[in-house]
């Protein structure tokens, strides 16, 4: 079990306004404080010369350049993207969702994630997620049915299952998916190893539930390949380098008739609020990261009837905690 995730906050200042960005770096993607600091220094040198207020064209051009500074570094790139967008919104005095014409009434309800754990811990965690109307349950354990039975003894909320690349054997997976459907599961995420697209395609063809790519889908360039192997993609800012590419990925997935989930790593309210700006464009919202940490420097986003609330505050709508 993971007890912490490396994260780095970045700020961009312009004429007394500050934009916040965040790089959240789970260990399996290989970014560290050192790699992020080195990348952000390079990015800062490029951004220092920007004098004029931001515009969509300028943001696109800057992000294109910054993406080319070095390969990888997706989370560090996301930090720059998020800070630029927050600052742009603050310069406009408007929230990003307003600038982009996104309808907040289309916000899907949010899910709360439970990792693989003992029945006692699962029951405790269920209580912590009481404000969320949907559960996201991590499977890929030795006893996946046992985990779902434990959940079902305590809750009848709809369930998303994230197998986290943990399943092997196509027939066994398909049997399990049918069983999960009978137990109120609504979708399956990343059933097999990220590179095993053949098994994903096999299951997608037969599954009664939609099958989503998470680890198999990082950036927009992965979309053509995964489109034929999954029903949907889990778009995360930390994988796809931020809001700019996330918006393009969501649109491109729609064009391919794919379903879209917007997800997160373990993140503060900064990156979660950024993802929330585009969440109404998606079918499923899994943005609970900032509810799972103890040292969030920002106030939590509002939740109403299990839906993330978009406010009228400019940019990401962040509020630095006062106490």
- By CB under 5 A, name the binding residues for Mg ion: 162, 189, 214
Which residue lies nearer to Mg ion by CB, 20 or 160?
160
Residue 223 neighbours by CB under 8 Å, 6+ apart: 217, 233, 249, 252, 253, 256
C-beta of 3 vs 28, nearer to Mg ion: 28
Distances (CA, A) of 272 to 35, 87, 194, 238, 245: 22, 16, 24, 11, 16
Shortest separation between residue 22's beta carbon and Mg ion, angstroms: 19
Please report how many Cα atoms fall inside a 13 Å half-sphere around the Cα of residue 224, on the Cβ side. 1
CB closer to Mg ion out of 214 and 288: 214
Q: Residue 273's CB: how many other CB atoms inside 10 A?
A: 31
- Give the separation between CA 171 and CA 169, rounded to whole angstroms: 6
Closest CB to Mg ion among residues 10, 151:
151
* Sequence-distant contacts of 28-33: CB under 8 A, at least 24 apart: 29/74, 29/75, 29/238, 29/239, 30/72, 31/6, 31/72, 31/73, 31/74, 31/75, 31/76, 32/6, 33/6, 33/8
Residue 75 beta carbon to Mg ion: minimum distance, rounded to whole angstroms: 16
CB of 214 to Mg ion, least distance (A): 4
Instruction: Name the residue with the smallest CB distance to Mg ion.
Output: 214
Please, what is the minimum distance in Å from the beta carbon of residue 215 to Mg ion? Answer: 7
- The nearest distance, CB 65 to Mg ion, in angstroms, is 30
Q: Which is nearer to Mg ion, 73 or 113 (CB)?
A: 113
């Amino acid at each position: 079990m993971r007890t912490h995730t490396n994260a780095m906050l970045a700020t961009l200042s312009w004429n007394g306004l500050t934009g916040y960005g965040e790089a959240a770096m789970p260990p399996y993607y290989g970014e560290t404080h050192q790699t992020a600091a080195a990348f952000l220094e390079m990015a800062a040198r490029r951004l220092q010369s920007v004098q004029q207020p931001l515009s969509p064209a300028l943001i696109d051009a800057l992000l294109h350049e910054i993406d080319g500074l070095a390969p990888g570094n997706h989370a560090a790139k996301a930090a720059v993207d998020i800070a630029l967008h927050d600052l742009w919104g603050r310069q406009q005095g408007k929230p990003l969702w307003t600038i982009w014409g996104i309808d907040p009434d289309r916000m899907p309800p949010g899910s709360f994630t439970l990792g693989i754990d003992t029945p006692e811990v699962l029951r405790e965690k269920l209580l912590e997620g009481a404000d969320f109307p949907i559960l996201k349950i991590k499977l890929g354990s030795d006893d996946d049915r046992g985990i779902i039975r434990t959940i079902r003894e305590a809750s009848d909320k709809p369930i998303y299952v994230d197998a986290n690349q943990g399943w092997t054997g196509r027939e066994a997976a398909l049997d399990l998916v049918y069983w999960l459907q009978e137990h109120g599961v609504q979708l399956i995420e990343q059933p097999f190893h990220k590179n095993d697209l053949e098994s994903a395609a096999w299951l997608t063809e037969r599954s009664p539930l939609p099958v989503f790519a998470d680890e198999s889908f990082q950036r927009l360039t992965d979309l053509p390949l995964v489109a034929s192997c999954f029903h949907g993609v889990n778009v995360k800012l930390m994988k796809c380098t931020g809001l700019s590419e996330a918006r393009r990925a969501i649109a491109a997935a729609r064009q391919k008739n794919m379903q879209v989930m917007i997800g997160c790593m373990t993140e503060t309210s900064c990156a979660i609020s950024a993802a929330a700006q585009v969440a109404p464009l998606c079918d499923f919202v899994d943005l609970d990261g900032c509810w799972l940490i103890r040292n969030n420097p920002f106030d939590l986003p509002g939740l109403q009837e299990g839906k993330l609330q978009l406010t009228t505050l400019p940019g990401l709508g962040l509020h630095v905690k006062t106490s």
